[in-house]
Amino acid sequence: MAGESMHIIFVYGTLKKGQPNANVMTDPKHGKAVFKGTGRTIDKYPLVIAQEANIPFLMNVPGTGHHIAGEIYSVDDQMLQFLDEFESCPDMYQRTIKRIEIVEWGGKDDSPEERAAANAIECFVYSTTSYQPEWLNLPHFDCYDSFGTHGLPYVNHLDR
């Protein structure tokens, strides 16, 4: 849609490429999402895998944990609205703004000038303050992979 606003979002969990909900970002029925590059949070956060469905949560507790790796996308209003519903925002996650260090800027439509322009960017992130205190004792990851050696693969909505 011409003139509509785009939003920058940082995803660190199941929405990343190769992860169980990656298809959500690429389905045009949900709106538009353009991959811009990879990054990591400037602040440290606890990233844990919690609940029976092994869901990744970036806990909104800056200063504890690791710099979290993820992917940066530009999304339209429709996709942002879809993601809010998909991520049960604001019940499970809250969409907050966090500063992200750019690791690799790789949008295919970006000029070399654009790609060299910035080394950090403000992004929307689905983090949570609605967690059980015990979650802070779970292992803290720096780069989520559902299929990692932790043995806690994400359980799809449909299989719960």
User: Which residues contact ligand PCA (rule: CB under 6 A)?
Assistant: 11-16, 56, 87, 93, 126
Query: Least CB distance from residue 21 to ligand PCA, whole Å?
Result: 6
Q: Which residues share a beta bridge with 50?
A: 55
Whether 4 is catalytic is no
Is 22 or 136 the residue whose CB approaches ligand PCA more closely? 22
According to DSSP, the β-strands at 94-105 and 33-41 are: antiparallel
Q: How far is the CB of 133 from ligand PCA (least distance, A)?
A: 20
Listed in order, strand segments (DSSP E) in 14-68 are 33-41, 47-50, 55-59
**How far apart are alpha carbons 66 and 138 in whole angstroms?**
13
Least Å distance between CB 87 and ligand PCA? 6
Residue closer to ligand PCA by CB (options 76, 87) is 87
Quick one: 13 or 76, whose CB is closer to ligand PCA? 13
Q: Minimum Å distance from CB 11 to ligand PCA? A: 3
Taking the least distance from each CB to ligand PCA, the nearer of 115 and 142 is 142
Other beta carbons within 10 Å of 75: 22
Q: What's the angle, vertex CA 26, arms to CA 14 and CA 49, rounded to 5?
A: 5
Residue type, 139: P
Residue with smallest beta-carbon separation from ligand PCA: 13
From the candidates 4, 52, 87, 104, which is the catalytic residue? 87
- Token pair recorded at residue 160: 């719960």
Task: Name the residues annotated as catalytic.
Answer: 87
